[in-house]
Structure 1
């Protein structure tokens, strides 16, 4: 598996490289992978994808230990799918094909929710609370079941739950922005880059940077005027 750590998505949110702290968190698993093979390598993937602070996995995916698992997809196919899910995927990807992955622990689901927020923030500078509640699968009976439900119908407890999730992601260095509690939306200033799947995503990153440059240029021009 050959991958690159970088920005994910092709929207207008500004993406930055993964933090040094995030890259450092994967180091122990890279060291373990040097001598691991088979089931031991698969176990490293399970542990790394659930570990706090580990958000980029390209280096782990490129280790001989992980590459060797591809020779036995009957045994390790779901584990490899798990790794790719945490490299590029979202909660929606998991929900679409839950049987394609091994069972996810609460820690896995919590992190996948954070990574889903990162992907959404890389695609748009303005995210409505309603959209985020649905995409992060925070909704329950109190929040309504339809994504077309207006923001005004979100229960206060659901608003707090969403804002807590966003604030946690901000403290973790995954996103930066402002919570608009009046209009119930999240304004994205910057977002951590996720692993990049291939050339198509690299092209998307290039377009994303162009769009962001235009936004910054227009903002600076308005300030001068």
Structure 2
């Protein structure tokens, strides 16, 4: 939770700075944001109105770079490297980290061969070092390195920025989840009511049994008393008869 709070504070800082900058200063801010070791979400910065003003200017490539870091991968950069500025080592590392997050969105078991191809890594040692030092230590993913099966088993991965065209699908997914949650909540409430009803019925039944037991005890006690009285009377009568004889 502390990491999330710091990340939110960092985004807020860049958003506030972007809102009052323009031209080369704004391009410099984009470079700083996309190189920052603790920043992995960029859509809020991208939505600042001043960024849109870079479109069609000398600094429009900075806007393209910010879009790349918000939604793209290292493979996307390689495919469009001719129209994008060269990236610094920090930016390259960041974009490769984001690429791992993108792969983890759709598959929780990532083969080493796929990762090496996507990240331009030449050997397993280099790949595992990257996953450990640049991804797991950074807190953006957790998982298990399976050298025998040559794969990375993802247990947790931070979410990436949603593309605008993904929003409707996300809203629908959340709506479906909400409907399912409401249905489950109603089912639980019905089960609770049923359990309460059964509990009351059980209590009532137990009370009826206890009352019946008490009645039987009283009846037995009366019967026992009556039996003793009868036995005493019979014994007295017999004694009297014996004395008369």
**TM-score, length-normalised on structure 2?**
0.65
Structure 2 residues not aligned, in runs of 5+: 181-245
Q: Compare 38-47 and 195-204 and name the one that shifted more.
A: 195-204
Contact residue 90 and residue 115 of structure 1 kept, 8 A: yes
Which residue of 2 is the match for residue 190 of structure 1?
Answer: 156
Cα distance in 1 between the residues matched to 2:172 and 2:88 = 35
**2:59 maps to which of 76, 81, 85:** 76
**1:104 maps to which of 87, 100, 112:** 87
Cα distance in 1 between the residues matched to 2:62 and 2:173 = 32
How big is each residue's C-alpha offset from its partner over 1:198-224, in whole Å with a ceiling of 9 and x where there is no partner? Answer: 13355268669x9xx9xxxxxxxxxxx
Deviation at residue 28 of structure 1 after TM alignment: 3.0
How big is each residue's C-alpha offset from its partner over 1:65-109, in whole Å with a ceiling of 9 and x where there is no partner? Answer: 212222xx2422211110010001001100001022111001110
Structure 1 residues not aligned, in runs of 5+: 1-17, 140-157, 214-225
Cα distance in 1 between the residues matched to 2:5 and 2:106 = 23
Q: Secondary structure at the match of 2:155?
A: strand
Which residue of 1 is the match for residue 129 of structure 2?
Answer: 164
Deviation at residue 120 of structure 1 after TM alignment: 0.6
- Specify whether residues 204 and 188 from structure 1 end up closer, same or farther in structure 2 by C-alpha distance, changes over 3 A only: farther
Q: Secondary structure at the match of 1:59?
A: helix
Which residue of 2 is the match for residue 23 of structure 1?
Answer: 8
RCO comparison, higher one (Cα < 8 Å, 6+)? 1
Q: How does 1:56-71 map to 2 (within 5 A)?
A: 56-70=41-55
Contact residue 175 and residue 190 of structure 1 kept, 8 A: yes
Larger radius of gyration: 2
Which residue of 2 is the match for residue 138 of structure 1?
Answer: 121
Cα distance in 1 between the residues matched to 2:106 and 2:171 = 10
Higher helix share: 2
- Specify whether residues 204 and 179 from structure 1 end up closer, same or farther in structure 2 by C-alpha distance, changes over 3 A only: farther
- Over the aligned positions, Cα root-mean-square deviation in angstroms equals 2.5
Cα distance in 1 between the residues matched to 2:22 and 2:113 = 44
- Specify whether residues 57 and 161 from structure 1 end up closer, same or farther in structure 2 by C-alpha distance, changes over 3 A only: same
